[in-house]
Amino acid sequence: MHGLAFDIAHLLAGGLVLVSFVMLYQDRMYALINAFALHAMLLALSVAWQARVQDAPHLYITALLALVFKATIIPAALRRIVERLEIHREIEAVVGTGLTMLAGMALVALSMVVMLRVTAGADPLAREDLAFALSIVLLGLLMMVSRRNAVSQVIGFMSLENGLVLAATGAKGMPLVVEISVAFSVLIAFIVIGIFLFRIRERFDSVDVHALDRVRRERR
């Protein structure tokens, strides 16, 4: 775990954080979905690299899952949904892009400070990975709260899950149980979301979560 191996792992994990930022400021659905596909692809590369470096062949399965499922199938399905629901254009953010980016930077700084401090004893790769992973998780959370559109909230959630997979693979020798289950839960989660989106579609003309808020009558 020296030199090149470390640098490449670092580069890939850093790339994931960067793409998380890219997703934060997308204002078109298709562009956002493409950015997510890129995110998933980087994750697949990063996991595959970990598999090679750690000599843990089972991680290749996780990488493959990320590549096939998250980087290919889900974006395709999302594009279909967007097409059907005709929501290509609008992504209304709750706060402005500039403010969101600033908040994102603050969150990344926070996770660096927290994780690098508490993991002082751990090996450097796991340390960096955890710090990056926490940044991705927090950026995913930020995306979920700063978007009103249901599809982009889902994408925020999936990018958050990507961060978790990065953390899980960075933790050396973490049993396969978890990796598969994470992938699995994403699958289940996606089915759930799919059902939800279609149900919402049946009742409303928009998947804007605020449309849901408007129909509510009695909130207490």
Partner 1 sequence: MFTRSTAFAASADDMMPFNAIRLVLLVPLVSAGVLALVPNYRWSSRLNVVASLATFLASLLLFVHRPAPTALTQIDDLNIVFVVLNTFVTLTTSIFSASYIEHELETGRLTPAYLRFYHAMFQFMMFGMNLALVANNIGVMWVAIELATLTTILMVGIYRTPEALEAAWKYFILGSVGIALALFGTILVYMAARPVIGAGLPAMAWTTLITRVADFDPSLLNVAFIFLLLGYGTKVGLVPLHAWLPDAHAEGPTPISAVLSGLLLNVALYAVLRFKMLLAANPHTFAPGPLMIATGLVSLIFAAFMLYRRRDIKRLFAYSSIEHMGIIAFAFGMGGPLANFAGLLHMTMHSLTKSAIFFSVGHVAQVKGTQQLDDMGGLSVTHPMLGWALVVGVAAIAGLPPSGIFLSEFLVVSSTFARAPLLAIPLVIGLLLAIGALFMKLGGVVFGEPRGSTAPDKASYVPFVVHLMIVVIAGIWLPGPIVSWFHNVAHLLG
Q: State the sign of the Cα–Cα–Cα–Cα dihedral 203, 31, 59, 54.
A: negative
**Among residues 98 and 173, whose Cβ is nearest to partner 1?**
173
For partner 1, the closer of residues 4 and 202 by Cβ is 202
**CB nearer partner 1, residue 34 or residue 200:** 200
Rounded distance, CA 161 to CA 142, Å? 13
Q: Which residues contact 120 (CB under 8 A, 6 or more apart)?
A: 127
Report the alpha-carbon distance of residue 137 to residue 160 in Å, rounded.
4
- The end-to-end CA distance of the chain, in Å, is 57
In whole angstroms, how close is the CB of 104 to partner 1 at the nearest point? 17
Contact between 25 and 100 (Cβ < 8 Å):
yes
Q: Which residues bind partner 1 (CB under 8 A)?
A: 114-115, 117-122, 126, 130, 133-134, 137, 140-141, 144, 150, 153, 157, 160-161, 164, 167-168, 171-178, 180-182, 184-185, 188-189, 192-193, 195-196, 199-200, 203-204, 209, 212-213, 215-218, 220
Least distance CB 84 / partner 1 (angstroms): 18
Least distance to partner 1, CB of residue 120, Å:
8
